[in-house]
Amino acid sequence: MVNQTAAEAAIMAESSVGYVPIALTAFSQLLEPAGIAPALDYAQTNRLVYASAPSLETRAQIRFVIGTPVVFRRGSEDEVRRLPVSYTHLTLPTIYSV
């Protein structure tokens, strides 16, 4: 776990982009089918949560589409199932203000 935290810190330190919101299409067409959801603290950490490990190709596609460094973390199936609802509620004002 210490190595993972150090790796996450290195990724975030190299990222000059910072927080980039995930577009609804990227979420619904790429993350959701892969069983991946943004963590509740995604705005601060750029962390995505998965229940079963995505392939390296899927991770590369996600990083390309999102356009900023992201960190992947294993979570329970229940957590991954609940996170999209929480993320959607957090981003609703942004979605409807566009």
Q: What are the tens digits of pLDDT across the range 12-71? A: 555 444 566 777 778 878 888 899 988 888 888 889 999 999 999 999 999 998 888 899
> Which own/partner pairs from 22-25 qualify as long-range (CB within 8 Å, at least 24 positions apart)?
22/66, 22/87, 24/91, 24/95
Task: Give long-range contacts, CB 8 A cutoff, 24+ apart: 37-41.
Answer: 37/80, 37/83, 37/84, 37/87, 38/83, 38/87, 39/73, 39/83, 40/83, 40/86, 40/87, 40/90
Judge whether residue 5 has pLDDT over 60.
Answer: no
- Identify the pLDDT of residue 73: 94
Is the pLDDT at 79 greater than 60? The verdict is yes
Single pTM value for the model: 0.67
* Predicted local confidence at residue 87, as pLDDT: 54
Q: Give the span between the Cα atoms of 26 and 5, in whole angstroms.
A: 26
